[in-house]
Structure 1
Amino acid sequence: MAGHVEDRWWREKTDEAGEVVLNAKGKPVREKTDLYGKGMRYRVRYYVSRKERSSSFPDGKLRRAQAFLAKVQTDALTGTYVDPDAGKVRLRTYVGQYLKGQSENYATQRRYKSMLENMVFGYFDDPFLADITHDEVRNWLEWMRDKGGKRVMSATYRGQLFDMLSAILNAAVEEGLITVNPCKARSIKRPKVERRKIVPWPEEKMWAIRAALPEIYRIAIPLGAGLGLRQMELLAQSPEDIDRDRGEVNVVRQIKWIDKAPVFAPPKGGKPRVVPIGEGVLAAVDEHMATFEPVTVTLPWLTPGGAPETVRLLINKAADGRQRYNAGVRARLWSGDGFHTGVWRPAFTRAGLAYMKQWDGMHALRHLFASLMLEQGVSIKELSEYLGHHDPAFTLRIYTHMMPSSHQRARLASDKVFKVPTLANAA
């Protein structure tokens, strides 16, 4: 790459013929230019893709200017050069392009945009990519943690936002718009999630909550604790999803609410799965259907404008005997928050139990399911598949403390052969 450092304050003196004037030692005589003492003294001029670029440096910084030119030339040779003007792309503009290459799931796209709008653009506004510095990222993390002097977001949520911004800036680096991702600096740490050991409910608590639920919603207990379904999978469960011959349940959908409109969607992660169903859970389903007729619901698939899909659902909101004023499909379907506040939490009050936010959400049924499976010797790999986790290692991190001790299993194995009465008789 061609380039040179230009001194804007001094130049070589020339005579009337345009020849350079030399001194007694044969070196060029220098004279002040009209710009002497004004603005930046040194200008580095270089060419990239046949286009001239320049960068200016103040008086006394000649070596810095020379070092800059050397680095630009080296970066051009090694293919790591980034045009300083490339980073003059607005964050909001780049995010709009970036999201086009992400999840095709409409609900996920809406969630990304909402998170970015509130917690990224809410702080950064709309800077150029090149202006997002390490200090700005640190200040943003502090703003999220202590916004308004209060802890308004969990470390898990802040970690998701940090990962999202880091992924966006990583993409900008890969596309040659910026040289480094400030989120990757060693001095910047991802929000640390405090992982608490999950304590599964005792079975007595499960039965107490079941008894306290309105009869029409008691089926939620065996669907959650007996099949490990998530809340919105549970509310989208159909009797047609049960394969009675094979003793299996096909978990193929959940309900999502997008802009206050419900849609059917694949389970979390877009991954349908098969879960064994025991005789007790099957009997509970049959008992429920003998009393409450499944409700037929037609919803669009994936997006509010998606292809309609008609399904019979086990849980019918409209048949619970409560007077409501909403009509249509919303009268027959619960949202996640609506079911939690209108059905789930009141059951704790009726059961005389204190509700603990971190332990007593409907996810507690999945944790109980996991503990029961591990207790019966189900492997982590199988449990991961039943729960619909993306990776058995993730399942292991959550539930490893629930696994029976290897010492305990070894003792039980030994006791099957070497029992005390057997040894006594042998003597």
Structure 2
Amino acid sequence: MASIAKRPDGRWRARYRDDAGKEHARHFSRKFDAQRWLDEVTTAVVTGTYVDPSAGKITFSRFYADWSVRQLWVASTRDNADRTIKAVPFGDLPMKTIRRSHVEAWVKSMSVDGLAATTIKTKFVILRSVFRAAVKDKVIAADPADGVVLPRARKPEAAMRVPNVEEVGRLLACADSGRVSSRKGFRPYVALCAFAGLRLGEASGLQVTDIDFLRRELKVSRQIQRDGRGYMVAPPKYGSERVVSLPDELLALLSEHVKSLTDETPEPWLFSIDGLPMHDNAVTWRWRATRKSAGLEWVRLHDLRHFYASGLIADGCSVVTVQRALGHATATTTLSTYAHLWPTAGDQTRKAAAGLMRAALAPPADSLRTAEP
């Protein structure tokens, strides 16, 4: 229901009632402007894009607080989202007053502060999920983050640094320190990252019973995460629960490590400190000491996962095989990360042609016999 009426002061009053029966009104100097406003409201109602003007008065932080408690997030996702939203400069602004310029300024400030493009994208995705939820809840009419340009990430082939076999050997040799007793037993940890492709949290979450020495397999079914108060045991990243086939050499190293454990609990942690699983801080300083001893301070622990992937690819493993070994949710993730390591069509063509040429030029089997006069 809508109407336009002229007031005693000469202005035109346009009003309508929404689906809840609440009346909304605005005053205009011209009847044409009043009619245009009503037409816009009517169009929004018909198309399903109508938003109650009062709904957008809720602040960004308040809307996030109400919305986030309903999300099915693991602890690490919630912690990451909370930190991101807490840092936005427009948290106290009403939702309806936030403009694209606010989001652009926020993205620019993170770039100026030196955050990596991938980190900025992760934070932006969290922010945009809030705005999209607000649109669906009819709190705002449009997403102010739509169309915001993000910093361009470096191509994987340019950003990725993969240690070679000799460098990984040096890291393994330096992982156990004879001078620092608290670093003893760290070599198997490093080996699991390099030859099983485990992430830091996955290696920290391993228990002895996860290793099947008979089948030569390792079950990845949990990880150690921060939870804001300390550390917690959680499932692996989505799609990352898997069984990894282990080489005999790694099994032998793990066997020796298991023999050295003194923990008498039914399912002792494979790597522990005072009976608790080794968390990321404890791993980080051990890794820094290891790479410093090896003279390879540029190598990140995650680079050992890249080393593992590159080895599988170089040995001819398919995309799906690499995906399952690494615990990627989809083959698309594997390709977007490691596509540059797979042989190109030119490489495959050259190799196939070389095989054909060698076969064609090889002497026939009976050519070794003495030709008849």
Match of 1:174 among 112, 136, 146: 136
Counterpart in the other structure of 1:19:
none
Opposite residue 316 of structure 1, the aligned amino acid is: S
User: Which whole-Å CA distance do the structure 1 matches of 2:258 and 2:46 have between them?
Assistant: 73
TM-superposed deviation, 1:253: 1.1
Counterpart in the other structure of 1:304:
none
User: Which whole-Å CA distance do the structure 2 matches of 1:276 and 1:255 have between them?
Assistant: 22
Normalising to structure 2: TM-score of the pair? 0.87
Check the 8 A contact 1:144/1:153 in 2, yes or no. yes
The DSSP-based 3-state class of the residue aligned with 1:404 is coil
Check the 8 A contact 2:194/2:307 in 1, yes or no. yes
Superposed CA RMSD in Å reads 2.4
The DSSP-based 3-state class of the residue aligned with 1:424 is coil
TM-superposed deviation, 1:336: 1.2
Q: Could you report, residue by residue, the CA deviation over 1:143-182 in whole angstroms, capped at 9, with x for unpaired residues?
A: 3333xxxx24222222122111211111111111111111
Counterpart in the other structure of 2:290:
347
Match of 2:149 among 170, 184, 189: 189
Q: Could you report, residue by residue, the CA deviation over 1:52-75 in whole angstroms, capped at 9, with x for unpaired residues?
A: 210233x4x543322111111222
Matched, 1:383 2:319: no
Counting only pairs closer than 5 Å after superposition, residues 271-286 of structure 1 correspond to structure 2 as 271-286=240-255
Counterpart in the other structure of 1:73:
42
State the structure with bigger RCO (CA 8 A, min sep 6), 1 or 2: 2
Q: Percent identity?
A: 28
Counting only pairs closer than 5 Å after superposition, residues 86-105 of structure 1 correspond to structure 2 as 86-105=55-74
Matched, 1:334 2:294: no
Opposite residue 286 of structure 2, the aligned amino acid is: V
Using a 3 Å threshold, how does the CA distance of structure 1 residues 44 and 421 change in structure 2: closer, same or farther?
Answer: closer
Using a 3 Å threshold, how does the CA distance of structure 1 residues 115 and 270 change in structure 2: closer, same or farther?
Answer: farther
Matched, 1:208 2:179: no
Using a 3 Å threshold, how does the CA distance of structure 1 residues 261 and 199 change in structure 2: closer, same or farther?
Answer: closer
User: Which whole-Å CA distance do the structure 2 matches of 1:421 and 1:98 have between them?
Assistant: 69
Counterpart in the other structure of 2:106:
140
TM-superposed deviation, 1:296: 5.8
User: Which whole-Å CA distance do the structure 2 matches of 1:376 and 1:165 have between them?
Assistant: 41
Opposite residue 293 of structure 1, the aligned amino acid is: L
Check the 8 A contact 1:3/1:47 in 2, yes or no. no
Using a 3 Å threshold, how does the CA distance of structure 1 residues 168 and 6 change in structure 2: closer, same or farther?
Answer: farther
Q: Which moved more, 1:68-77 or 1:400-409?
A: 400-409
Counterpart in the other structure of 1:3:
3
Opposite residue 130 of structure 2, the aligned amino acid is: I
- Aligned residue pairs: how many? 356
User: Which whole-Å CA distance do the structure 1 matches of 2:101 and 2:123 have between them?
Assistant: 17
TM-superposed deviation, 1:293: 1.1
Match of 1:55 among 20, 26, 29: 26
User: Which whole-Å CA distance do the structure 1 matches of 2:214 and 2:42 have between them?
Assistant: 71
TM-superposed deviation, 1:206: 0.3
Check the 8 A contact 1:6/1:45 in 2, yes or no. no
User: Which whole-Å CA distance do the structure 2 matches of 1:108 and 1:312 have between them?
Assistant: 27
The DSSP-based 3-state class of the residue aligned with 1:281 is helix
Q: Pick the structure with greater CA Rg.
A: 1
Opposite residue 25 of structure 2, the aligned amino acid is: S
Using a 3 Å threshold, how does the CA distance of structure 1 residues 69 and 365 change in structure 2: closer, same or farther?
Answer: same
Q: Which moved more, 1:399-408 or 1:276-285?
A: 399-408
Check the 8 A contact 2:2/2:38 in 1, yes or no. no
Matched, 1:124 2:90: yes
Counterpart in the other structure of 1:362:
301
The DSSP-based 3-state class of the residue aligned with 1:312 is coil
Opposite residue 85 of structure 1, the aligned amino acid is: S
Structure with bigger helix share is: 2
TM-superposed deviation, 1:126: 1.4
User: Which whole-Å CA distance do the structure 1 matches of 2:140 and 2:223 have between them?
Assistant: 40
User: Which whole-Å CA distance do the structure 2 matches of 1:153 and 1:68 have between them?
Assistant: 44
Counterpart in the other structure of 1:241:
210
Check the 8 A contact 1:295/1:316 in 2, yes or no. no
Opposite residue 334 of structure 2, the aligned amino acid is: T
Normalising to structure 1: TM-score of the pair? 0.76
Using a 3 Å threshold, how does the CA distance of structure 1 residues 235 and 413 change in structure 2: closer, same or farther?
Answer: same
TM-superposed deviation, 1:224: 0.8
Opposite residue 9 of structure 2, the aligned amino acid is: W
The DSSP-based 3-state class of the residue aligned with 2:14 is strand
Matched, 1:259 2:225: no
